[in-house]
Every structure is written in C-alpha cells, then in structure tokens.
Amino acid sequence: MRPAQSFAPRLIVLAFFVLTLAFSGDANSEPAPAKARPSGVKLDSFPKVLKPLPQRFADAETAEVPDFQRHVMPLLGRLGCNGRSCHGSFQGRGGFQLSLFGYDFKADHEALLDENSGRVDVDDVAESLILAKPIDADMHEGGKRLDEGSWQYNTLHRWIASGAATERAIQTLERLEIQPAEIQFNTDDQQQQLTAIAHWADGSKEDVTALCRFASNDDAVAAIDESGLVASGLSGDTHVVVSYDRAVVPIAVTRRVQVDADIDAPPGSSHPVDRLIAAKHAKLGIIPSPICTDTEFIRRASLDITGTLPAAEEVRIFLANENPNKRKELIDDLLDAPGYAAWWATRFADWTGNNEQELNNVLPMRGAASRLWYEWLRVRLDDNVPYDEIVEGIVTAQSRQEGEDYREYCESMTEACKPGNENLFAARDGMPLFWARRNFQKPEERAIGFAYAFLGIRIECAQCHKHPFDQWSKDDFDQFSKIFASINARGNTVSKEANPIRKELLDNITGGKKLNNGELRKLIYRRANEGAIVPFPELIYVNRSAAARQKAAKQNKKRKGSAVAIEVPKGYVLGQAEPIELDDDPRAELMQWMRDPANSFFAPAIVNRVWSNYFGVGIINPTDDMNLANPASNQPLLKYLSDGFREHGFDLHWLHREIVTSDAYQRSTITNASNSHDRLNFSRHVPRRLPAEVIRDAVLLATQSTVQTQKMRSTMSDMAIAADVPQNRNQRDFALQVFGQSARESNCDCDRSDSPSLLQSIYLRNDMEMYQQLASKNGWVAQACASLGEAGPGQASNPQKDQIARKAEQNRVQMIARVKRYLALNPNRRAGQREKFEESYKAMRKRFKQFGYETPSLSAILADPDAWQLVSTGNANAKEASDSLESIVEDAYLRALSRTPDREELEIAMQYINDSDSVADGLSSVMWALVNTKEFIITH
C-alpha cells in the first residue's frame, strides 16, 4: 500500500477534472462530425465551443463567473445602456456615463464601480443600480430592459457577486465567425438564424450570438431581429451586419428574383468584368439588359470619359462607321482627347480638396493656388502618369525642386502664378498646396482629409470613440494623426536658412517699413502683379532630431536631477502593427504603405470612385465610406479591378478601358421583369442626372455656333469641366451652384450633389442665361438662320439677304438704263449691236438668278423697261429650302441628344418652325425644347 500523501497530487488532478466536467459539461457543443475532421487528427485536439450565455446562466446558482470584456460590456450594449441616447452620450444620463458602444473597458469599469454612482455594489448585489433599475420601468428612465431571474439578470448578478473584477489587459478577439457565412432566400416566407462564434487569441471559442448587435443594410430585402433571426423580403441583395467586441462582420443575403415570363438573355461575354457580374446575376436570378445602340454609346461614353457632349459631325461619322471595333477605337480617342484630362482633373480636385476659399492667402497672388492645383493634376492625367506617382507627388511634396535655393524658388513661383503660366507649376515635381489649406492644418483634420482623399474611408467617428461600423478605435485615430503633426505648410512658413532671403525680398517690397498683415498682403499682391519677385511660403517638416531629444533630456535632468531618455515619437498607419518613427519626415513611409499590395484601401478607393463615375453607384457605396459594415456589392469584382490596376502599374487608362469595354457598361436602359428594380448589380444602365459642370457645358455646346464649340473643345476655354469658370464662394457660377457642383469644403464625396430641385428646371426653362445663349449672335440659331438666308434672332431681316437685295436692285437700275440707251439708238446701230446686247442680257439674267431672282424675257423688257421688277425665286426653290431646314433640325437633335429625330419628331419640328413668326423664333423654340427634355439632362 502506497503512503497516503502519494495520492494527493492525483486526487487534486482528479478533483479538478471532475469539477471541470461538472462546470462545463452542458456548456460545450458537440464535436464536429468525423467527416469534417482532417485525417490523422485526434478528436480531443479540437477546442470546444462554449454554449451561449442564455443556457449557461439560465440558472441563478451557476458557478461560472462572467468576464467583463467578453460578457458584461457586450450585454450592456445589447440592452442599450451605452447607446447614443442613453449613458453612451457625451453628457451621459442620470449622472452616469459609459463609453459610446462600450469599447473603453478600463474607463467603463471604473465608472461602474465608482462608489458615488451606485451602479455596482458588491456588498449588496441586489441594490446595484445596473440590476435594480432595468427591472423596474417606473424607476428606470429607459424603461424596463430585463426581468429579474432572466439570464441577463443572472449574468450581471453573478459578475457583481464574484467581486465585479476585470482583466488588466484587453483580450484579443481574433475573429468573429458567423454561421452561415452567406444566406440565399428563394421565397418571401423564409427565415435563417445566425450563430456567432467568438475566436479568442487564447484559443477559446464561444457562442456569443446573444451578445451581438444585429443590423440590416436594407430591411426591405432582409430584416433581422435582435436575436439574429433573418427574414426574407423583397427580391434583391443586401448585407446583415453582426457586431461584437471589436469585430464587425457583414453577411451577404440574396433574395432570388421570381419571374413567370420567359426572358431572352443577351449573349454571354468573356470579359472578366462581365463574368464576375454574371456570377452574381446567377445567384439573384437576374437576366441583364441588351447592349445599347451606337447613338446611346457615343453619347454615354463621351459624357462619362470626357465630360463633353459629342459634336454632331462626330456622331454622324461614328454611326456611319461599319468597323466592328469602332467602340474600342472611340474609347481610345476619348482617352486621348483634351476633355479626358480636363474632366478627370476636376474630379481629382474634388477628391483632394482643391478649394480656393481655403487656399486664400496661402500664396501671395490671389486666385492662383486653385488654378495651379488643377493644372498640376491635368498635365499628369493628360500624360497618363501612373496614379500612385500622382498621389506620391502630392503626399511627399516638397516646395522646392532638387537643387533649387529659396530665391530661385520664389522667382519660379512668381512667374508660375501669373495667369496663363500654370504650366510652369505643373512642371514641378510636387504639389504641396494639398497640405497648405487653412482647414487642413491640425493633425486631426489631416488624418480625416487624408483618409477621405486616398483611402476612401471615413475615420472621423474614431476621433471620439470606437467607430461603430469599423475596426478603428480612438487610439487608432490618435496614432494615425501623429504622422501629420509635424508638417508645417502655413502661409508664412519658410525654413530657417531661407529667412534672410525672405526678409530681403520683403524689404525690397516695403522699403523697410513695418506694415500690418493686411497692408503687407495687399502690397505683396500688387507688387507680384507688377512682376516683382515676392516671398513664397514653403512646406517644411519640423524634424525631431537626436539633438532636439538630447536638449529635452537635459531639461528633464535639471528638473528631476537625472537624465531621462526621450523616446523617438511614433505614429501608426491604419491597421499596421509596426510604427513609423517620427524623427524624420514620415510621408515617404506613408506612401510606401499605400503602395503595398497588402493595403486594402488605396487601390480599391480609386477603382471604386472611377467605377461610380460610369455607373452612378460604386461597387461600395457611398464611395468614400469603405467600412466593414458597408461591404462591396460584388467583392470579387472589386478585387479583380484593384489587383489588375496594381499589376498594370496603376495605369488609369487601363482601368477606364477595362470598365468601359465591358458589356456591363454598355447595357441598355431597357429593362425586363428580372432586373427592373436592380440598381446595385449592374444588369442595366440606370439613368442618372449629369454632373453640374457637364450640364453647364452641354448647354453651351448645344446652343453655341460650330466655330465657338470647336474652339471650346480644342482649347477647353469657357468649359466648366476644365475649371475655367470661377467656383469660389463669392464668384460661383449660378448654373454650377444650382446643379450641385462640389463646394470642396471637405474631401467628402458628399460635397457634390446630384439631387433634383425646382431651381434646376427654372434655370433650363426660364433663366436669362438660357435665353441669351439662344439669342446670341455667335449662337447656333443665328448660324442656322444665316445658312437658310433668314433673319437671325432679334433681327428684322437677314443682313446678308438685305445686302444681296440691294446689289440686285442696283443691277436692275443699271440694266434699265442700258436698255433705254439701247432703245435710243437709231435702227441701224441697234441692229448692229443686237447680238452683243442679247449676250449682255443673258449674263445679267444669270447673275440675278444667283441673287435669287427671276427676270423678265428680253421682249418684255424691250416693250417696257420701267415695268421691269425682280421676282424672288423662293417659291421656285421651295423643295430645296425644305431639305435645308430638315438638315438643320437634324443638326439640332445631334447637337443636344446625339441622335437624329424620328419621322414624327421631324415633322412636328418642321411644322412648328413654319408656323412661327420667324425661322429664328421657331429654331430657338426647338432647341429650347430639346435642352429641356429628360433625355438631355440624364444619361441614357
């Protein structure tokens, strides 16, 4: 027999084993079936999943102690305690405040245990207010939230009774697994329960379904209740979003379309974009629309790629072209057209925040900064510089060129700021104006603006609390903001070595006089406009060098008696564990992080924005709100385009071609029973209103003369898409303002509006600018009238026609005098000159016919010269005039709508013009009517 003490270790192990079984036997789910296990792996090597709290805490006498982070705080969140309208608000509620959505575990634990709040009382558990209030609707301002004896009550009670402890360190949730990972509904009465499994870094797993928050991105397609039960609704697709701890997981839900009618499917496409979209259509039961017509394609592609209406002659040539590759050839031509670089520079200026108001006083020449910014972008887009290089020129911008001293920099910038010299600035490597805006000087402003511009994410929520729909915490925001803290690009900033030269340049301007800031600024503006070299600010990085740290260490030694090492300040880019040391300019490392193929924001952000330009909706929508709760409608499509964009060296032309050559882009607006409600899966062309700049230019291109429009297209003069129209707050063009041009007050894509309004209709129908265009002497109506020999707008008659009539009358009077002289000759001389006279009269009749008049016969004029009158040939050539008018009406349709009129439209227009007081009035009304159609103002 062994000594008793030798059994002690084994008894302890046995007791622990028995207690473990007693504690967790019912709380563990069944192991995975054998077929799901890899061969050669033992069953007990798989960690088990703890059953949900409703089962484990159904009994108030359970011995398990809830975890503060894993159980208590998520439960308070489910009960709404830390929501915006309750204790999570910035003011708190009832003298008690929690962190919004409950992600500051340390602060929340301290708040709950604050003896003055009474929320947790470990000595008298039942009197703890987090238990007493929620079970009593009269006592609790938020109403009754739970029942005494419920699993929720038991969980909170057990935590308090055990001492209300919390872990010192925040536990890491590796992932939140949702089962099923995708939901497919086929009828409107189906339901699906979600299960959420938390996977923690320590290897434990737990069913946390009862602790999750659930939401639907579209309740009409899929509704979800607080327990995670999803119910099908209308046909379509959406996501339900599950949130727990720091995890946010979207689950795709599709409700297949049920149609009775047989629908002819268009031919399939091998284009990668089409194949990825077709896979989604197959899940939804959607049959896409057929391909659009050539007239629709040339108009759509021209407006989307160049922001410009196609010219009437370009439409005629395209329609007559029988080359099967003509659409691809058109796309190449449009990408090489001046309008492409102009329009996309305007879009890039929106996204990067080119705002003249915020750039005021940044440069010593008023109004120059916005023009330089735009032109710098336009030149690079025109040269198809890779997107990452364009962004690099902004992100890592330096004010001076390599080897350029401060005086040379000021000389160069003074010259570049003169109107018409913007190309000199565009030739510079960097564009530091991005960092110089007045609303972009604080680190927090730069973090928010930078994330908008280049990452397509809205991180501002994390400035105060954990982002409710994404992974970003307040700490993430603070660490990211640090990267931008030491960049100085204010309007009076120069480097130390440049200060003497700056002072010299100022003294040359002021004569050594001291002036206040306002007077000095005005004087600098005036002298710069006169051609004097003026001082310019420059972007500098406040370098926290080793010397600066050493100085700080010495100061600490004086105060504390011993040297204290000063650590190099650090910042973190979003989602990256490795810090960026801030003892040197960190922007190169920031750019390197964005270029990294592992970066899930940089390439997708621009791909998504470009896609949205062509479809009116992004693959992720809104386009600058890429967060975990707002997933892509077609993630494989976004990944394909983003990966391809990177693999092709960030080639923007490749991206445009890959999108526009797809059948998806070329779909018709014609719908069928399966896709009539689809707006997110690219099965049809969804008409949308044209952007403000495009509408404003389209009105001009439709109503101006051919000479004027050719000049506009070639030089981009007076084109809003080319930023050739003032857009600062005090000088904004009325039409651009009415149609929602981006004010660029932030980098948010929401600064541009496409919402309809009454003012938009009033502008097109009744604004003075509209009537001035139609009545312009350089307008299309005047040009058309002149070609018909008719009086133009506002003219009583046609000046050219009047001049011809005067010449004809002068010739008539001269001819009558010649006839009279001929008749006054004696008979012999008259007979001798008869043949010559007849030849002369025949030539005269031919000349008058060219003037548009018929003349009497020779015998009639010899009988009575004074009775001779000119007779217009208008009636004789009525058929020819009609044909000419018909071609002009056709030209009107081609100019405004990029198509020819059908027979009925043509006859109505012709009849209206003939019934009008003048041809000019009729043509003006026809063009006015075309510009006021939906077909003009929307894509089709």
CATH of 173-255, one of 2.60.40.1080, 2.170.190.11, 2.40.50.1070, 2.30.110.10: 2.60.40.1080
Provide the pLDDT confidence category of residue 40 given band limits of 50, 70 and 90.
very low
Across all residues in the chain, what is the average pLDDT? 84
Six-digit token string for 627: 């967060």
Q: For residues 326 and 880, which has the higher predicted lDDT (pLDDT)? A: 326
Give the pLDDT mean for 440-468. 85
pLDDT of 203 > 60? The answer is yes
CA nearest to 749, candidates 493, 516, 458: 458
Q: 126 vs 59, 110, 118, 698, CA distance in Å?
A: 16, 19, 11, 73
**Model pLDDT, residue 262:** 84
**DSSP H stretches of helix in 571-680:** 587-595, 602-615, 635-647, 652-660
CA nearest to 549, candidates 533, 535, 566, 537: 566
Place of tokens 């919390």: 166
Provide the pLDDT confidence category of residue 46 given band limits of 50, 70 and 90.
very low
- CB neighbourhood size of 555 (10 A): 12
pLDDT of 444 > 80? The answer is yes
**Model pLDDT, residue 33:** 33
Angle at alpha carbon of residue 880, lines to 876 and 883, rounded to 5° = 145
The distance of Cα 874 from the centroid of its chain, to the nearest Å, equals 56
**Model pLDDT, residue 880:** 46
**Model pLDDT, residue 39:** 30
Provide the pLDDT confidence category of residue 2 given band limits of 50, 70 and 90.
very low
Q: Identify which of 110-124, 149-163, 291-305, 808-822 has the greatest average pLDDT.
A: 291-305
Q: For residues 459 and 218, which has the higher predicted lDDT (pLDDT)? A: 218
Provide the pLDDT confidence category of residue 454 given band limits of 50, 70 and 90.
very high
CA nearest to 135, candidates 147, 124, 126, 127: 147
3-class secondary-structure state, position 97: coil
First to last CA, the chain: 96
User: Structure pTM?
Assistant: 0.83
Give the pLDDT mean for 558-569. 63
Each residue's pLDDT tens digit, 407-421? 999 999 999 999 999
State how far the Cα of 909 lies from the Cα of 925, in Å rounded to an integer. Answer: 9
**Model pLDDT, residue 29:** 37
Per-residue DSSP letter, 455: I
- CB neighbourhood size of 419 (10 A): 10
**Model pLDDT, residue 799:** 59
50-54, 548-552, 700-704: the lowest-pLDDT one: 548-552
CB 247 within 8 A of CB 176: yes
Question: What's at 138, amino acid-wise?
Answer: D
| Longest CA span, the chain | 173
State how far the Cα of 351 lies from the Cα of 518, in Å rounded to an integer. Answer: 32
152-161, 421-430, 682-691: the lowest-pLDDT one: 152-161
Q: Which helix (H) or strand (E) holds 407?
A: helix 406-416
Six-digit token string for 920: 């000019």
pLDDT of 618 > 50? The answer is yes
Domain locations in the chain as residue ranges: 13-161, 173-255, 692-780, 799-872
CA nearest to 537, candidates 399, 725, 358, 692: 399
State how far the Cα of 272 lies from the Cα of 518, in Å rounded to an integer. Answer: 59
Edge to edge, the sheet with strand 195-200 lists: 49-50, 205-207, 195-200, 173-179
The torsion region of residue 228 among left (phi > 0), alpha (psi -120 to 50) and beta comes to left
State how far the Cα of 397 lies from the Cα of 432, in Å rounded to an integer. Answer: 5
Provide the pLDDT confidence category of residue 288 given band limits of 50, 70 and 90.
very high
CB 250 within 8 A of CB 181: no
Q: For residues 863 and 888, which has the higher predicted lDDT (pLDDT)? A: 888
Q: Which helix (H) or strand (E) holds 818?
A: helix 799-823
Each residue's pLDDT tens digit, 568-592? 677 788 877 788 888 788 999 999 9
Give the pLDDT mean for 877-881. 44
State how far the Cα of 667 lies from the Cα of 656, in Å rounded to an integer. Answer: 16
3-class secondary-structure state, position 570: strand
pLDDT of 800 > 60? The answer is no
Six-digit token string for 899: 């198509």
DSSP string, 18-82: HHHHHHHTTTBPPPPPGGGSPTT--GGGSPPEEPPHHHHTSSTT------IIIIIHHHHHHTTTT
pLDDT of 750 > 50? The answer is yes
State how far the Cα of 25 lies from the Cα of 34, in Å rounded to an integer. Answer: 20
Place of tokens 């800031």: 517
Residues 110-118: contacts with CB under 8 Å, at least 24 apart: 112/164, 113/164
Each residue's pLDDT tens digit, 756-776? 888 888 888 888 888 888 988
**DSSP H stretches of helix in 179-293:** 272-284
State how far the Cα of 892 lies from the Cα of 889, in Å rounded to an integer. Answer: 5
DSSP string, 873-918: -TTTTHHHHHHHHHHHHHHHHHHHHSS---HHHHHHHHHHHHHSSS
Each residue's pLDDT tens digit, 666-702? 999 999 999 999 999 999 999 999 998 999 999 999 9
288-297, 583-592, 648-657: the lowest-pLDDT one: 583-592
pLDDT of 168 > 60? The answer is yes
Provide the pLDDT confidence category of residue 509 given band limits of 50, 70 and 90.
confident
Q: Is the peptide bond between 180 and the residue preceding it cis, with omega within 30 degrees of 0?
A: yes
CB 383 within 8 A of CB 393: no
State how far the Cα of 256 lies from the Cα of 183, in Å rounded to an integer. Answer: 11
Q: 935 vs 354, 668, 678, 688, 932, CA distance in Å?
A: 32, 14, 21, 10, 8
Angle at alpha carbon of residue 463, lines to 462 and 465, rounded to 5° = 55
Place of tokens 């108009």: 299
**Model pLDDT, residue 513:** 83
**Model pLDDT, residue 851:** 64
pLDDT of 842 > 60? The answer is yes
State how far the Cα of 140 lies from the Cα of 892, in Å rounded to an integer. Answer: 71
Angle at alpha carbon of residue 154, lines to 150 and 156, rounded to 5° = 120
Provide the pLDDT confidence category of residue 519 given band limits of 50, 70 and 90.
confident
Q: For residues 599 and 3, which has the higher predicted lDDT (pLDDT)? A: 599
**Cα-flanking dihedrals φ and ψ of residue 44, to 5°?**
-75, 0
Per-residue DSSP letter, 401: P
State how far the Cα of 355 lies from the Cα of 682, in Å rounded to an integer. Answer: 33
Q: Which residues pair with 570 in a beta bridge?
A: 581
Q: Identify which of 436-440, 463-467, 547-551, 605-609 has the greatest average pLDDT.
A: 605-609
**Model pLDDT, residue 793:** 84
**Model pLDDT, residue 218:** 94
CA nearest to 712, candidates 732, 730, 693, 733: 693
Six-digit token string for 187: 């009828």
Angle at alpha carbon of residue 15, lines to 14 and 20, rounded to 5° = 100
**Model pLDDT, residue 476:** 85
State how far the Cα of 640 lies from the Cα of 637, in Å rounded to an integer. Answer: 5
CA nearest to 728, candidates 341, 458, 345, 374: 374
State how far the Cα of 455 lies from the Cα of 649, in Å rounded to an integer. Answer: 18
CB 266 within 8 A of CB 291: yes
pLDDT of 483 > 60? The answer is yes
Provide the pLDDT confidence category of residue 230 given band limits of 50, 70 and 90.
very high
**Model pLDDT, residue 10:** 37
Share of the chain above pLDDT 70, in %: 84
Q: For residues 465 and 208, which has the higher predicted lDDT (pLDDT)? A: 208
